[in-house]
Amino acid sequence: MSEAGAPAPGGDEQPSRVARGRRRVAGAGRALSDDLVGGFERDGYPRGIRAFFAVTIAASVFVFDLTFTLGAYRTVFYSRLFEVLVVSTVLLLGTIVLRRFVHVRWWSKVLLAVPLVWFVQRMVRPSGPPGTVARVLDDFLVGLTVASVPFMLLVVARVLAPEYFELPRRRFKIVAMLIVVLVAVGGLLVGLFNYRVTTCHDYDIAGDDTPANCRQQPFDTP
């Protein structure tokens, strides 16, 4: 029989040692694991971590290309405008076809219709020389189409990655938006100062038009 006050063999001391051992093993496992490579499979992650990265990466890639061309060429490439057109048209038609099951506010439909209005206007009356009414109207509708991109990204994220909006902390969503905004600003600056990181030869190899201020040789100033 054990003395008074002394823990009996197999008593509370042994479970506590086991618990400490398990915590040490778990801590070592976390230290050695790589969550990016492992795909965030460990227990204890807030719901939506994968969606956080998926939404942030996809949006950042899109806006970087959009703002880079805007900075380098002072315009938005037709291919990006067509991508926005396709996304907005699919969403708009979907809300019309599924109107019995999907409730969409009128202003959402207006925003979705902006790229389609630009496309119809371009089909009916192609853009004319600078300064003409047709050119001014076309530039205005292109500007509205580009301005509708944040709304399109939000809707696409809602549809394709709803887990993102289930993140338990609001700051996660704010951080994702800030990252996308910083990438967009970075793309614009890289486009404006493209001669710092690319040369005219880079655009020629890629089959692209050369920006007006591109660098002719690796060590020449524009």
Position 114: which residue type? V
Which tokens hold the place of 42?
A: 């460990």
pLDDT at res. 190: 96
Q: Write the burial class of residue 81 (CB in 10 Å: 0-12 exposed, 13-18 middle, 19+ buried).
A: buried
pLDDT in tens, the chain (222 residues): 445 455 555 555 555 655 554 555 445 455 556 777 766 666 666 667 888 888 999 999 999 999 999 999 999 899 999 999 999 999 999 999 998 888 889 999 999 999 999 999 988 887 767 778 888 888 899 999 999 999 999 999 888 888 888 877 788 888 999 999 999 999 999 999 999 999 999 999 998 999 999 998 765 555
pLDDT at res. 37: 72
Q: Is the pTM of this model over 0.85?
A: no
pLDDT at res. 28: 45
Which tokens hold the place of 222?
A: 């524009």
pLDDT at res. 16: 63
Q: Write the burial class of residue 132 (CB in 10 Å: 0-12 exposed, 13-18 middle, 19+ buried).
A: exposed
CA–CA distance, 222 with 217 (Å, rounded to integer): 9
The three state secondary structure string of the chain is CCCCCCCCCCCCHHHHHHHHHHHHHHHHHHHHCCHHHHCCCCCCCCCCHHHHHHHHHHHHHHHHHHHHHHHHHCCCCHHHHHHHHHHHHHHHHHHHHCCCCCCCCHHHHHHHHHHHHHHHHHHHCCCCCCCCHHHHHHHHHHHHHHHCHHHHHHHHHHHHCHHHHHCCCHHHHHHHHHHHHHHHHHHHHHHHCHHHCCEHHHHHHHCCCCCCCCECCCCCCC
pLDDT at res. 25: 43
pLDDT at res. 114: 94
